[in-house]
Every structure is written in structure tokens, then in C-alpha cells.
Amino acid sequence: MKVPQWSARPPTRPEFRLTTRVLADRYRLGDLLGRGGAADVYEGLDLRMRRPVAIKVVRPESGLRTEERFHDEGRLLAQLQHPGLVAVYDSGEEDGCPYLVMQLIRGATLRRRIAAARMTPAEVGRAGSALASALAHVHAAGVVHRDVKPSNILMDETGRPHLTDFGISKLLDAAARTATGPLVGTAAYLAPEQVRGRGAGPASDVYSLGLVLIESLKGEMEYGGAPLESAIARLHRPPAIPAHLSPGLAELLHAMTDPDEHSRPDAPHCFRMLAAVAEEGHAGPVPETATDRTGTPGAARRAGRALLTALRRRPCPEPR
């Protein structure tokens, strides 16, 4: 199989911060795959099962109280089995450093994929439907991710996305839906209700996914800049939807990024609508002028809204 150019990455030898290269006499650390805010991710080998794995290790100098959250993430992911999520196999601690042993996804992040080239509407339909399916599964389990963004989406060698990094996810309950508090998430992808301090729910994940899909089509972040500037921007202007889209896809992206969380479609409906986009193949060359700052023209908006309404009224199949 030919590996897409965007997925290729030069191997990097890790800077070992542990006193051993083998964790729990079982997991051998290999190349460093990436670094997050508080943890490093290594390629590894499960010596017992003889299979490649990814090993996420908390850095001791992070200065964050991450251990409990880290183990919570492992337990949560172990219960959320879905093709669009990264599977967790094991967890433990070595030299005071907690670690997770996870499914190894060979590829790159969606962030890198977008940097290489903008995605076509058909590609966005395929990737978006898979991510919406994963979110539908997560939400049905009573969990909200709270940090859906391109760098938390791994694209395997077939182009299928896998949602990862549930480190700040939260179980949904009555208190969580109404709680206020400090901002949690990445400023560029926060939903308006998160910016206003009202907390995050499933609709917040849908909004973030909408921004991710718009960015995939345009090749650039919708709300860039410093964190505060980025967070506030969405309260003053809606995202600019690319002008070359079909009315149905354009209206769906408008709906997903509606400032009112109660007006957004849920993840199962997004799954079905994006799957329809992929099947119908709204593909073709991406024009040089990618955005329409004034939104979709009235007639097209009305046609897209009618399609969205018709799709919502049809029975929703179970996301896979």
C-alpha cells in the first residue's frame, strides 16, 4: 500500500526520561511520536503479545496534577470501544510516571494532513461521518470530549480518522450540563457556550467538529490568533463557510456551528448527513477562492435547509 505523503514522518529517537526503556518488563519504548502539554507518546512493542503499541507517558516535570486524570482517561477509553477511537490496552506507572498503552495508529494527525493540502468535500464527508459516528458513541455513553481539534485526530494509512486524547473529557450529568467555571479546551475550537463559561455538552463537541471540517476544507484555522482573541471572535462573527460547497453540506456546517447549542444537530444526525455527502461524492477541484464571507446565497441556503430538514425527519441509522 502506498503511504500518503502527508503521513510520512522521519523517525525520532526519544529523549528517555525514565530509568528504563522497558516498562513493567513488558513494553519496550521506541521512537518518540509526539509531545503534548503534559505527556510524550512513544512507539513501542508489547513483548508479551509481540504487537506494536503506542505508549503515552506523563512527563514528571509537567508540574500538573495529571496522574488521576491520566488514569481516568485510560479507564474511560477502555470502556469506549469504537473503530473511530484509539483503543487502550493497559495502564501503569514507572519511576513515578503514569503511562497508557494504546493502539498504534500509523499515520499522522489531521493537523498535518490539512497542512499538506485542503480536503475535498467528499473527503470531508468520509472523515466527518467517521468522527461524528465516534462522537455519537461517546455521547451515548454519557461522555463529552471537550477538546475536538485536528491535533487530537489521528489519520491512519487508509485515511480513516481516530479521535484521541480524552484527558479533559467529562461524564455528563445534570450538574455538568449547567456547571460554570474556567475555560476547558483549546481556544480556537471552543463553542460559544464554553467561551461564556456555561460548560460543555454534546452540542459543544458538534460545534468543534464543525470548525474542524471547515478548516479541513479551507486549509486554514477559522479563529486563529492569541487564545483570548480567538475565543472571543466566535461571539462576534460566524465561521465563513467555503463558497464551493453543495447547499446540503454548506447548510449542515452552518447548523453545526450555530451559536445556539440547542439549534445544532446531534452527532447521529451529523453522521448520517456527512455519510450522504461522502456517498454522493460532492468532489471536484477545490477553487482558489475558498470562502464566502457573507454565507451561502439565499436560494442555495433555502435548498440546503430543506435538505437538512428532510434528512432530520428520516429515521437515523445506528452510527458504526
Q: Measured on CA atoms in the order 142, 148, 153, 159, is the torsion positive or negative?
A: positive
Dihedral angle computed from the Cα positions of residues 60, 75, 101 and 111, in that order, rounded to the nearest 10 degrees? -80
Largest CA distance in the chain: 65
Q: Which residues contact 300 (CB under 8 A, 6 or more apart)?
A: 247, 250
Q: Which of 147, 165, 205, 258 is catalytic?
A: 147
- In the 8-state DSSP scheme, what is residue 116? H
Are the C-beta atoms of 145 and 169 separated by less than 8 Å? yes
Place of cell 479551507: 218
Catalytic residue status for 147: yes
d(CA 161, CA 216): 13
Three-class SS of residue 27?
strand
- In the 8-state DSSP scheme, what is residue 279? H
Instruction: Enumerate the active-site residues.
Output: 147
